[in-house]
Amino acid sequence: MTAETALAPKHSPRDYKSDIKPVWCPGCGDYSVLGSITKAFSELNLDPENVAVISGIGCSSRIPAYTDCYGFHGVHGRSLPLAAGLKVARPDMTVLVASGDGDGFSIGGNHFMHACRRNVDLTYVVMDNRVYGMTKGQASPTTEPDWDNALTPGGSGISPFRPLVIALAAGANFIARGFSGDQNGTAKLLKEAIEHPGFSFVQILSPCVTFRPDQKTWKDDVHDAAVDPTDEIGRAARRLMTDDGFNTGVLYKGEREAFQPPIGEATATVADLEGKFAL
């Protein structure tokens, strides 16, 4: 943590909120996640113009336009490469990526693995509601196999995967879980994730009140992680593999160096390059 962040914030969370009214259903968990994001930015004293919020497509992916930072609302599933391109080209920017469990784990699943492995300094926030909200209620890779819906009546019959374990195996440098119902706690997690170098993955359990009213019970299901974050990958694996999916907090913190090739430092001119072709 830098000395600066210890000073009183010069920006309030409001400075990061745009005047655009969200399209979300009343009661959607994503409102609270938006609040956590802007709170984390303000506590880190980031100038809004030096922050970019990047996303794909989904209810959760609508977040960029609701912030007053630079943003990019891209195509479904491709937020991570979009963000990695920006961060590698502009290492001075703070880049946060917002996604959903469909956007991030299904159509964008390949990029998820490789973003963990590449370890560009990004904060990846996945609002996991175990459903495709935007397309009105289909199963996602984190949906329970017996969850009945119109597209896969009686349930998909397919076991959900564990994104945090995948993140660990693929090389993510920071892994945490939060709950949208705990706005301050989630803001704290995000703050830590942004400050941690390399690829930070934060799964936020964010209920879909419209298509998953059963998720009302989540507020009773979540609990703080019993032990502090580990930097030991074997312990983290056991922990993530066996947890109930509801323990929140920072679960793994690695020490891999972030991927950031040098940019902007020229040692030759274009004419020098051309010289190699001259006879």
Partner 1 sequence: MNQPTDNTTSISLVLAGSGGSGVITAGNMLLAAAAKAGWYGLMTRSAGPQIRGGEAAALLRLSSEPVSAQPDRYDLIIALDWLNFERFADEIPLDKDTVIIGDASAAKKTPAFVTEGPARRGDIDFKSMSKAIPGGRPNMIALGTIGALIGLPEDALDAALSDALAKRGEDAIAASRAGAEAGRAIAAEMPATPKLPTPEGEKAGRWLISGNEAAGLGAIRGGVRFVAAYPITPATEILEWMSPALTKVGGVLVQAEDELASINMAIGGSYGGVPALTATSGPGLALMTEAIGLAVASEVPVVIVDVMRGGPSTGIPTKSEQSDLNMALYALPGDAPHIVVAPNSIRDCVFTTQWSVHLAEAMQTPAIVLSDQALGQAKSVIAAPADIAFFAQRETATTPAEGEEYQRYAVTASGVSPMAVPGTPGCAYTADGLEHNPRGTPSGGAKDHHIQLDKRQRKTDDFDYGQHWADQAGEGDTVVLTWGSCTGPVLEALDNLAGTEQSARMVSMRLLMPAPKEQLANALEGAKRVIVVEQTHSGQFMGYLRANIDLPKNVEHHCTPGPLPIRPGDIETLIKEGTPS
Ligand X SMILES: Cc1ncc(C[n+]2csc(CCOP(=O)(O)OP(=O)(O)O)c2C)c(N)n1
CA within 13 Å, CB half, 98? 27
Question: 15 to 44, contacts with partner 1 by CB under 8 A?
Answer: 20
Binding to partner 1 by CB under 8 A, coded x per residue (else -) over 50-89, reads: x-xxx---------xx-xxxxxxxxx-xx-xxxxxxxxxx
> What is the 8-class DSSP label of residue 16?
G
Write the Ramachandran bin of 119: left for phi over 0, alpha for psi from -120 to 50, otherwise beta.
left
Q: Measured from the CB atom, is 22 or 48 closer to ligand SF4?
A: 22
3-state secondary structure (DSSP) of residue 250 = strand
Q: Please state the closest distance from residue 60 (CB atom) to partner 1, in A.
A: 15
- Residue 102's binding partner out of ligand X, partner 1, ligand SF4, none, with CB under 5 to 8 Å set by partner kind: ligand X
What is the rounded CA–CA span in Å between residue 200 and residue 266? Answer: 30
x/- mask, ligand SF4, residues 154-193, rule CB under 6 A, reads ----------------------------------------
- Kind and range of the H or E run holding 32: helix 29-43
Q: Which residues, 8 to 27, sit near ligand SF4 by CB under 6 A? A: 24-25
Q: How many residues bind partner 1 (CB under 8 A)?
A: 54
End-to-end C-alpha distance for the chain, whole angstroms: 55
Residue placing its CB nearer to ligand X in the complex, 130 or 196: 130
Query: Which residues, other chains included, contact 126 with Cβ-Cβ below 8 Å and sequence gap of 6+?
Result: 60, 99, 100, 101, 104, 105, 163, 201, 202, 203, 204
Give yes or no for residue 64 binding ligand X (CB under 6 A).
Answer: no
Among 44, 63, 116, 134, binds ligand X (CB under 6 A): 134
Options 104, 133, 249, 254; binder of ligand SF4; rule CB under 6 A: 133
**Are 103 and 57 within 8 A, CB to CB?**
yes
Distance from C-alpha of 163 to C-alpha of 141, rounded to nearest angstrom: 9
- Contact residues toward ligand SF4 (CB under 6 A) are 24-25, 28, 30, 59, 129, 133, 208-211
- Contact residues toward ligand X (CB under 6 A) are 57-60, 76, 100-103, 127, 129, 131-135, 140
